[in-house]
Amino acid sequence: MSLPAKSSELIESRARLLGPNVSTFYDEPLHVVRGEGVWLWDADGRKYLDCYNNVPHVGHCNPRVVEAICRQAATLNTHTRYLHDGILEYVEKLTGTMDAALDTAILTCTGSEANDIALRMAEGMTGKRGIIATDATYHGNTSLVSQLSRSNVPTVGFGLDQFFRFVEAPDSYRNPDPDGTKFAEAVAEQIQAHETSGVGFAALIICPYFLNEGFPDHPDGWLKPVAEVVRKAGGLLICDEVQSGFGRTGTHLWAHQKMGVVPDIITLGKPMGNGHPVGGVVTRSEILVTFRKGYRYFNTFGGNPVSCAAAMAVLEEIEDKRLLANAKTVGEHARRRLGQLAEKHEVIGDVRGSGLIFGAEMVTDRDSKDPASDYTDRVINALRHKGIILSKLGRHKNALKIRPPMPFSIENADLLIDTLDEVLAATPVIR
């Protein structure tokens, strides 16, 4: 590895100042210094096509968002105990994009906080504490929600294990469940187990598009059977739209709408402020009122005037630039081209996705579907050296995860696929 001197210095300083286990991407970590739209530049002035980052949802350094943040920061920023129009105008606009019953919100600074609140809301409403999630997900880093993240199970905790049960993450490639009934049955079993143990069932929390699990290919409406099971058992359905929301899937602004359900609680984060830290919980007023009465919740920064200005600018930019329609058109084009690559490159076992979340699963053998995890890693690193940034995910870390900023164009998609074609041709599969 021949890292630039400055990068080696930064890696050493990170370890010294930030401690061990602070992850970086790539064998040769990238030192980025500037972004614009779908592009990033490193310290040596090299340009990269960003096919991965969903936080700069409407593009790196989007002028509308930058201007909104600067204008509000230069006017007023306070904690959230004063009256201010910004938060009300934003919550009105945000909830206006969802089912009429979902008409209240709490704003937070992160997705983790939002999920933490959602779990407590479920406890408040049901009087029970049993939570169900998939076994390959990530929902955040608080004491409570870190228990849900099987990929990052904390080795120390607060003895909360008994409140969490897991179902196998859906996998349309290896274990198809075309109408969602297998998944619903698995959840029903865990609901029963919660009841039998005496903990009782409070909520199912899922990303409606199962992004961290590898975005399995499901038809629209796929979550209906599981939603019915949850409701019948008196529990709440929490949809974590931290990754899947704000039009990412190209067909609907919210993935739960695509999947045919109205959740009781929706949690938001990452793209919401285009990089400015703002998250949120949207729910029905009865749930919010119960939570507000039972849990004396206050958040100093959540929903401050600058955060709301950033978040409002993101929603306006999605509308103005028709980014939902763009995600659909460009995503379809990219998947069609990825499909053509699969005809050439045996290593691509499956191509899937919707809108601007898509990718390919790499296998050493199409019959056995054995994951080509190391190969995927080599491909990602080779792409980085050719100026293309993306990542991998899924239980076996063998799926290319392509999730660019929403202004991604057909030309950007062509550059990505042409470069991937070259890299796959030049990277031998070691069986």
Binding site for ligand PMP (CB under 6 A): 110-112, 115, 138-141, 207, 212, 240, 242-243, 269-270, 279
* CA nearest neighbour of 3 among 23, 24, 31, 22: 31
- State which residue, 150 or 369, has the beta carbon closest to ligand PMP: 150
Residue nearest to ligand PMP (CB): 111
Q: How far is the CB of 127 from ligand PMP (least distance, A)?
A: 25
b/e string for 32-71 if b means 16 or more Cβ within 10 A? eeebebbbbebeeeeebbbbbbbbbbbbbebebbeebbee
- State which residue, 130 or 279, has the beta carbon closest to ligand PMP: 279
Q: How far is the CB of 240 from ligand PMP (least distance, A)?
A: 5
- State which residue, 7 or 249, has the beta carbon closest to ligand PMP: 249
Measured CA to CA, the distance from residue 165 to residue 174 in angstroms comes to 22
CB atoms inside a 10 Å sphere around CB 316: 15
- State which residue, 240 or 423, has the beta carbon closest to ligand PMP: 240
Q: How far is the CB of 23 from ligand PMP (least distance, A)?
A: 12
Q: How far is the CB of 394 from ligand PMP (least distance, A)?
A: 14
Cα 403 to Cα 179, 251, 254, 408, 414: the distances in Å are 26, 15, 16, 10, 15
Q: How far is the CB of 149 from ligand PMP (least distance, A)?
A: 9
Cα 181 to Cα 7, 160, 165, 177, 220: the distances in Å are 50, 29, 19, 7, 14
Q: How far is the CB of 136 from ligand PMP (least distance, A)?
A: 12
Name the phi and psi angles at 56, rounded to 5. Answer: -75, 65
Retrieve residue 114's tokens. Answer: 């939002």
- State which residue, 124 or 280, has the beta carbon closest to ligand PMP: 280
Q: How far is the CB of 372 from ligand PMP (least distance, A)?
A: 24
- State which residue, 270 or 335, has the beta carbon closest to ligand PMP: 270
- State which residue, 167 or 420, has the beta carbon closest to ligand PMP: 167
Q: At what angle do helices 323-344 and 410-426 cross, to 10 degrees?
A: 20
Strand arrangement, sheet containing 32-36: 32-36, 39-42, 47-50, 388-389
Q: How far is the CB of 425 from ligand PMP (least distance, A)?
A: 32
Please classify residue 115 by burial: count the beta carbons closer than 10 Å to its beta carbon, then call 0-12 exposed, 13-18 middle and 19+ buried. Answer: buried
| Residues in CB range of 322: below 8 A, 6 or more apart | none
- State which residue, 237 or 423, has the beta carbon closest to ligand PMP: 237
